[in-house]
Structure 1
Amino acid sequence: MTTIYVYILDTLADWELGYVTAELNSARFFKKDAQPVSLKTVGYSKEPVKTMGGMTIVPDCLIEDIAMDETSVLLLPGADTWSDPKHSAIIEKTSELLSLGATVGAICGATVALANAGLLDSRPHTSNGPGFLDMFVPNYKGQEFYVDQPSVADNNLITASSTGGLLWAKQLIERLDVFQENTVEAWYDYFSIGKPEHFYALMQTLPANNEN
């Protein structure tokens, strides 16, 4: 069982997580031999948080409950509240998880928090455009590793811009190896282009359609 931990904080950007959490939690397009996953929300306290879209989420567990294991996955969404010192604990945990080889996905404002901790100084990454991290992180030293793409996968760290949620989801799904290769490509084509032929192509890749 792979546990997907989703860190939640006030002003969480709802849309950034939608693609990846929906697919990992529902498992609707998983291949037959995919490792089962469990999705848990995690907070710095058990107090509910209010998302940017006005939805209330109550954490399932606390930061100290995160299993320190290579198979753990931590997702860090964007939010306007990352500068609050109370989130330093999850960034420390992120550093430990990365060192273990666990998968971490950070998008939008979460990349600022990682940059501020020096975690983007020496590995390929992205954020909300060239110069964005320089504006908000005075000690940022990762300019030469910045890649101007919506989402960038560097082994066990996958970073994305606020508009990169779909590609970020694709790269996380690929990292976790829960879709067949042709499924993830058809899934990405359908949700990025929206043409019906990509939907039918997606349906044809599913295990029930591949028994022969």
Structure 2
Amino acid sequence: MDQIEKKEVLIVVLDEFAEWELAYVAAFLNSSEHYTTKFVSIDEGVIKSIGGLRVMPDYTIHNIPERFSSLLLIGGNSWRKPLSSKIIPLVEKARTMDIPIGAICDATVFMGANGWLNDIKHTSNEINDLKEYAKEHYQNEENYVCEQAVRDGNIVTANGTAALDFAKAILELLEAYSKDQINQVYQFHKVGYYEAQRTV
């Protein structure tokens, strides 16, 4: 039986990334039949998370594959630093090719600061913080939604406490599992093992 070639989901991590924000989405995607996750950063070498987790990127911004199925930007403490601007061409490529994009926590502020939230419904950590940092580049407060995760078209945004909701929205967008499977695993992790068992 021929082995199914899995589609690559690129996960961007910068120094001091928030490892809890990628845990669900990376695990669920990498366990699916159709997707595999690949980590991307600016340069070669180990990237260290806020909690000390060390990740060796599969790609740098200099050797990204020509085709990939989705681009996920994981939050952390580096999105407001000048070096984050090196990620702009990668996001622009995904936008041009209509590739699904996910951004969580401070990566949503990076999106807003580059004008990429101006034509979609979206969320972030906090609207005033988004406005203050993005300044004139952000012009879409009327479409800010106070929800854990928001999907509009092929873009998903989420706040930093929404790792599970972010994962659910990405799994649905990519159709990584059936709707029933996604809802089941979401509820299992949302309410906890014992409560989930009582509702089976």
TM-score, normalized by length of structure 1?
0.85
Q: In structure 2, what is the Cα distance between the partners aligned to 1:181 and 1:200? A: 21
Distance in 2, Cα, partners of 1:19 & 1:153: 17
Is 1:120 the counterpart of 2:123? The answer is no
- Name stretches of at least 5 consecutive residues in structure 2 with no aligned partner: 1-5
**Which residue of structure 2 lines up, in the alignment, with residue 37 of structure 1?**
35
Alignment CA distance shift 1:61-1:200 (3 Å): farther
How far the C-alpha of 1:195 sits from its partner, in A, is 4.4
- Superposed structure 1 runs of 4+ greater than 6 Å apart: none
Query: Which position in structure 1 is the counterpart of 2:132?
Result: 135
Once the two structures are superposed, the pairs formed by residues 6-155 of structure 1 within 5 Å of their partners are: 6-27=11-32, 34=33, 36-69=34-67, 72-139=69-136, 140-155=138-153
Task: For 1:200 and 1:177, locate their aligned partners in 2 and report how far apart those are by CA, in whole Å.
Answer: 28
Unaligned runs of 5+ in 1: 28-33, 203-212
What percent of counterpart residues are identical? 32
Question: How does the TM-score come out when normalised to structure 2?
Answer: 0.89
The residue identity in structure 2 corresponding to 1:180 is S
How many residues are paired up?
194
Q: Conserved in 2, the CA contact under 8 Å of 1:6 and 1:74? A: yes
Aligned residue number for residue 184 of structure 1: 182
Q: Tell me, in whole angstroms, the C-alpha distance in 1 between the residues paired with 2:187 and 2:181.
A: 10
Please report how far the alpha carbon of residue 40 of structure 1 lies from its aligned counterpart in structure 2 after TM superposition.
Answer: 0.8
**In structure 1, distance between residues paired with 2:29 and 2:181:** 14
Task: Kindly provide the amino acid, as one letter, of the partner of residue 73 in structure 2.
Answer: L
SS in 1 for 2:169: helix
Q: Give the Å deviation of 1:49.
A: 1.4
CA contact (8 A) 1:91 1:114 kept: no
- The Cα shift of 1:116 comes to 0.7
In structure 2, the residue corresponding to 1:91 is in which secondary structure? helix
